[in-house]
Structure 1
């Protein structure tokens, strides 16, 4: 009914009929998800508070954890460790997956314990995250439960051999363990089932590159770019490959295209900064600033920005940048040493 009216009209009437704003909690959660997808760091405290709140929705909490997974901000780690004790297995599983990117003794212990969780989903996610710890699955007093969790992980990865995603995930399993031939074989099987799977193609190129087979790596990247010319991941990896091959014009072109299609890709901005610093220092500084703004939790980006600012004769700006970096990362020694060096010259 009311086909001639829009959503705003309906919303206005509902709000007039019902004084209680029943949509507010859902819209607030949705806004946090939207901010996480956009990597809006200004909302991070709200996101972390929500994940830990008593009235959190487990689906939204798990989604926020997954969206924040690649964010390097140190404030996230304590929240993830707390999530490992959450009553929801969905939240615990998301936490276990995210902790795999944060390697400390405390996170390792949490993952080892999670390998014995009552829920298989949590055990499997923990086993996947433990792949970066060579030999851990048979070590110590937790050896038996770690071995069992590893077997459950392999069983889950091979349970649907008719789906390309199963082989893609198996490729990721091998890749993180340094089993490069097996990883490449799994990705290539995935591509037989779904030739248009761009990430399987990109990861296959990565596996071949790590084996020193740059010709094969380039073939897979060309295939990925033919399938999806705008793919940020494919352009980024092609840019790195071209830089390694000393084809700097092609490298610059692909890295700029990667950044254009993913304006939040700090790695592309940083690599452009380093690449252009030799003969286009002002342009390089712009890319370094962008990388630093996108990833304030990464002190290397700010340090590099300060280094090139000093090279251009903008030492006051370099000193300010280093001081701001050390306020956030007081133990970052490169910044400490460089600040002392250029401050003495002043």
Structure 2
């Protein structure tokens, strides 16, 4: 009897170990997510690595490990990890859908990394691989749009247009594809009217999306329609009131539209968002100078120089201001 019991235990043991390993892996993965959310990247990386050690087929752990490595500046390691994650075999897994989606996510993250590095042909290859390995349940529009964006950056506009249309065919209300397709069409002056139609459609579909107004404003600037562009930028900045770059872009658009008081208001807004940014104070000084508020302009320039001593642009502007003040 004891012999039979011993044999039974020997057979059951591997299954128990698999169950224990899965539990440990799940715990380590969850811990990694929490640590990454707190920007404790080194600890998060170790947790993900332990999760993979205990369950080498956990594709999501590879995706998050890659993300943490990128955030930590360890990009070459991230490439290797994401490649491994994209090639995992899901045979025998209970949740094949999650596994397949994670494999696609690994390829998309790999493509994004290459794109950020300017390695566009490698990014394109990763996105193509993702598109060709999409499971039926995975929404394709984001992948198709990324392919279009990358091809457009490579000046392969005809193929880019095909992918944008594929994205819009897959999901007609996909806002990113409306914007990127509009931007592509705007490169060709003969298709400017068509481009604007896509921006307008995006505006109707997503009236509270700041990016829609931002890129529509960008298009209007390119067409020399500065008054309309200023309104679009202002709407975008109002929707994202803490976005510094949008505040500056709005102020610049107002200046181009000769709406100098509005430009001053938005440059002041930019200063309030980033009070320790020297460029904010230089820009404000320049518009105050233009608006005839010389003492305030001088104070803004001096604050810019305190934050960034010796800045050539600010020194030049301050010299011009002093010359103006001496002749008035």
* Shorter-chain TM band: 0.5 to 0.7
Q: How far does residue 127 in structure 1 lie from its aligned partner after superposition?
A: 4.4
> What is the alpha-carbon distance in structure 1 between the residues aligned to residue 157 and residue 116 of structure 2?
14
Kindly report which structure 2 residues correspond to 1:53-64, keeping only aligned pairs within 5 A, or say none. Answer: 58-63=32-37
Listed as ranges, the gaps of 5+ residues in structure 1 are 1-55, 66-78, 100-106, 138-146
1:208 is aligned to: 185
CA gap 1:240/1:123 in 2 versus in 1, 3 angstroms:
closer
Single out whichever of 298-307 and 149-158 deviates more from structure 2.
Answer: 149-158
Per-residue CA shift, 1:166-214, capped at 9, x if unaligned?
Answer: 2123233334545443333222211111111112211211222235542
1:283 is aligned to: 262
* 1:155 is the counterpart of 2:155: no
Q: How far does residue 219 in structure 1 lie from its aligned partner after superposition?
A: 1.7
TM norm structure 2: 0.62
Mapped contact 1:236–1:254 kept (Cα < 8 A): yes
1:120 is aligned to: 85
2:201 is aligned to: 223
Q: Indicate the RMSD between aligned Cα atoms, in angstroms.
A: 3.8
Mapped contact 2:271–2:281 kept (Cα < 8 A): yes
Single out whichever of 89-98 and 245-254 deviates more from structure 2.
Answer: 89-98
TM norm structure 1: 0.59
Determine which structure has more spread, i.e. the larger CA radius of gyration: 2
2:213 is aligned to: 235
> What is the alpha-carbon distance in structure 1 between the residues aligned to residue 204 and residue 65 of structure 2?
39
Listed as ranges, the gaps of 5+ residues in structure 2 are 1-29, 49-61, 87-105
> What is the alpha-carbon distance in structure 2 between the residues aligned to residue 178 and residue 329 of structure 1?
38
2:158 is aligned to: 181
Mapped contact 2:178–2:201 kept (Cα < 8 A): yes
> What is the alpha-carbon distance in structure 1 between the residues aligned to residue 299 and residue 319 of structure 2?
12
> What is the alpha-carbon distance in structure 2 between the residues aligned to residue 320 and residue 91 of structure 1?
47
* 1:93 is the counterpart of 2:58: no
> What is the alpha-carbon distance in structure 2 between the residues aligned to residue 97 and residue 210 of structure 1?
33
Structure with the largest fraction of helix: 2
* SS of residue matched to 1:313: coil
Q: How many residues align?
A: 257
CA gap 1:61/1:190 in 2 versus in 1, 3 angstroms:
farther
2:5 is aligned to: none
Q: How far does residue 222 in structure 1 lie from its aligned partner after superposition?
A: 1.4
1:334 is aligned to: 313
CA gap 1:150/1:262 in 2 versus in 1, 3 angstroms:
closer
2:300 is aligned to: 321
Q: How far does residue 159 in structure 1 lie from its aligned partner after superposition?
A: 2.3
